[in-house]
């Protein structure tokens, strides 16, 4: 297995922020902060993050029921190799890209029919592809992903999310998560597997949580005594009834989980190689 280079304490960082922009989730009773307040807090947090190192770089994605998209960097910036790290892009221009891109994304979603599942798995895959490319272009860079969630877990996306989590673990990319809505079992598992930080807050002051919990880089965190997760819920959600289970029947092909035995997998259609004998009633 290929070993990744050891990161030095003065190495620059690449932070990929994934923002859940689902209006229905932010308008729910489980979320006490608005989407606008969350975006403003993130932009202030980014300014503090960029001051930590002159060559720190950033990527910003958002997702909701209709899909996921990069807000920064834009395709033109990528094509011309312009970034915050090389000084070709100002913080003001980056903020403008994020604000205008998010407004366009939320405006366009009204004309797109929403899917049954959120695009969190797609956003994770996009961020990991971006991180993988940057790790090949820039040597000795500290990479991490910060997800800000307001939505509930969607059992249909469990497989895709877990695949992304194990990919991040192999690439040694920590996944941090700030939940401003309900608790996320999937993100608890993701942060635990990748060595990231999980925090769920009911406070409206999201900026304070971001600066105190998620600002330090990987090399700095080892010197800090941060509050970790007291316990991690490793239960999985079954695909048939969407309920949390501790013991499940697993399809050997698509790894779908079911709380009861099926002769044929409802997800991929694979026939079971064995049969469970049913006891005859007296």
Q: How does pLDDT run across 110-121, given as a tens digit for each residue? A: 556 555 456 889
Tell me, what's the pLDDT at 252?
82
- Other beta carbons within 10 angstroms of residue 105's beta carbon come to 19
Q: Of 259, 257, 260, nearest to 278 (Cα)? A: 260
CA dist 2 and 234 (Å) reads: 29
Q: Give the pLDDT score at 179.
A: 94
Name residues of the chain where pLDDT drops below 70. Answer: 1-10, 109-118, 227-231, 242, 275-282
Tens of pLDDT, residue by residue over 193-239, are: 999 999 998 888 899 999 989 998 888 887 877 766 666 777 777 77
DSSP string, 169-201: HHTT--EEEEESSS--HHHHHHHHHHT--EEE-
* Whole-prediction pTM: 0.84
Please enumerate in sequence order all residues whose Cβ is within 8 A of that of 126, keeping only pairs 6 or more positions apart, or say none: 61, 68, 70
pLDDT confidence of residue 163: 87
């Amino acid at each position: 297995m290929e070993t990744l280079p050891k990161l030095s304490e003065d190495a620059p960082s690449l932070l990929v922020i994934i923002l859940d922009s689902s209006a229905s989730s932010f308008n729910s009773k489980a979320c006490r902060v608005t989407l606008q307040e969350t975006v403003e807090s993130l932009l202030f947090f980014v300014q503090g993050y960029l001051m930590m190192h002159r060559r720190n770089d950033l990527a910003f994605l958002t997702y909701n029921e209709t899909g996921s998209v990069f807000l920064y960097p834009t395709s033109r910036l990528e094509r011309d190799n312009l970034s915050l790290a090389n000084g070709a892009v100002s913080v003001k221009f980056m903020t403008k890209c994020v604000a205008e891109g998010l407004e366009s994304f939320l405006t366009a979603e009204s004309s797109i029919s929403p899917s049954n599942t959120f695009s969190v798995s797609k956003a994770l895959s996009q961020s990991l592809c971006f991180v993988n490319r940057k790790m090949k272009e820039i040597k000795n860079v500290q990479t991490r992903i910060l997800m800000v969630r307001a939505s509930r877990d969607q059992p249909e996306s469990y497989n895709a999310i877990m695949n992304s989590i194990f990919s991040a673990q192999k690439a040694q990319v920590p996944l941090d998560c700030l939940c401003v809505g309900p608790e996320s079992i999937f993100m608890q598992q993701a942060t635990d597997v990748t060595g990231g930080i999980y925090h769920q807050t009911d406070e409206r002051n999201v900026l304070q949580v971001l600066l105190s919990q998620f600002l330090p880089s990987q090399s700095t965190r080892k010197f800090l005594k941060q509050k970790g997760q007291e316990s991690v819920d490793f239960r999985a959600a079954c695909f048939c009834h969407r309920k949390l289970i501790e013991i499940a029947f697993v399809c050997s092909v698509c790894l779908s989980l079911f709380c009861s035995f099926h002769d044929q997998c409802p997800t991929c259609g694979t026939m079971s190689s064995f049969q469970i004998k049913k006891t005859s009633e007296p």
